[in-house]
Amino acid sequence: MWIFVAYFVPQILPEAKVSNRQKSGIIFRNESWSGEITITGDIWAMPGTRVNIIPGTKISVRRLGDIFNLDWLPWHLKQGMNTEEEWMGVKNGEFFWDEQNKISLYFAKVYALGMKEQPIIIEAENATEETKVEFNVISIKEGIVSFGKLSNYRKMSLGNKVTVRDSRLSNTGECSLCADRTSPTIYNNIFESAVRAYITVDGGSPKISNNLFTVSKGKGVIVDPERFGAPLIYYNNFEMPGSVALEFTGGGEEIGGTVILNSFSGGSIIEIPCDSKVQIAQNSIVGVLRFAHSGNCVGSLILGANFWQTTDKEAIFREKIVDKEKRFEVLIPAILSTPPADIGRLKE
């Protein structure tokens, strides 16, 4: 019965038009959104449904007063700021979910196909450039978000068959985009200001390319490949002086992923564990490569050919590769004297 309701009923019912109105609750049929939509409570879409969002649509999410809360997990109901150690994923200094008052959006399929002149906006109600995190989750299992302006949410969870492209993501919390054991495509976006990170990858293999990551309180891209994750990170500009632009955690994975043809600005940091399998090659690394301290690093790691602003190996090991433990060796068989011609974002 559940399968019939979740997957077959949406195919039988005609598509519902949702325009210039308030919205909350369960979506059990295909819908088309347009105009100005105010989200007043949690949205939970049945697995077989599809939401089409028309170019120029503005979706405003109410900051307080969730009239249709669908998340009653006790740790998500907790309120206030965490002033102690990390608890249920909420770090010290971060606000708890307060799910009874804060809104979450859980979609199945979403096709939000904006246009350059008519972007799709998803933000907190009455938001300004100074507005921070005001609602909890945007979750999309399948679909496309293009030419969007998305802001003021805690996290945006992406399924395997999701593409986010040509969009601007700003003033977010835990992660502007999250790939938890999934492999979405993240292409040609601009990331501005996140509390914790712009992109987090846990065990997934997303394609992350042609994006601009700007200065932020949080980090750029955090990757935990776990065992079989292999993200492909290429043609990106990390303009993040003084911040961790790219961090690989864990170590000991089977593959690790590839970091190639990226531009890392001066003062930016790439951080990896000594037993990481990630391949780092053909990048411009004007910042530093830092090794996460473990206290038991032994053996060696071979780096691919990168541009370091110098071809002097002694200078690279002295100034560019930092926090290497004494019993661990880093090998650099080749050094690029100039950056690759096609490095970083494609020029429009």
CB 182 within 8 A of CB 200: no
Least-confidence region, from 28-32, 301-305, 336-340, 343-347: 343-347
Assigned token pair, 219: 């980090």
Least-confidence region, from 54-63, 139-148, 247-256, 273-282: 247-256
Domain ranges of the chain: 216-348
Backbone angles phi, psi at 250, to 5 degrees: 85, -90
Tens digit of pLDDT for each residue in 330-345? Answer: 999 999 999 999 999 9
CA distance 121 to 56: 8
Residues 6+ apart with CB under 8 A from 237: 211, 212, 213, 262, 263, 265, 344, 345
Residue 145: predicted pLDDT:
99
Residue 238: predicted pLDDT:
98
Q: List the one residue out of 271, 341, 343, 334 whose CA is nearest residue 304.
A: 334
pLDDT band at 294 (very low <50, low <70, confident <90, very high): confident
Residue 67: predicted pLDDT:
92
Collect contacts of 180-186 with beta carbons under 8 A, ≥24 apart.
180/204, 181/226, 181/229, 182/158, 182/206, 183/207, 184/158, 184/159, 184/160, 186/211
Tens digit of pLDDT for each residue in 220-251? Answer: 999 999 888 999 999 999 999 999 999 999 88
For 259-279, give one letter per residue: b (16+ CB within 10 A) or e.
bbbbbbbeebbbbbbbbbbbb
What is the identity of the amino acid at 152?
Answer: N
Residue 175: predicted pLDDT:
97
Residue 78: predicted pLDDT:
92
DSSP, res 8: I
Tens digit of pLDDT for each residue in 313-326? Answer: 999 999 999 998 88
Residue 128: predicted pLDDT:
87
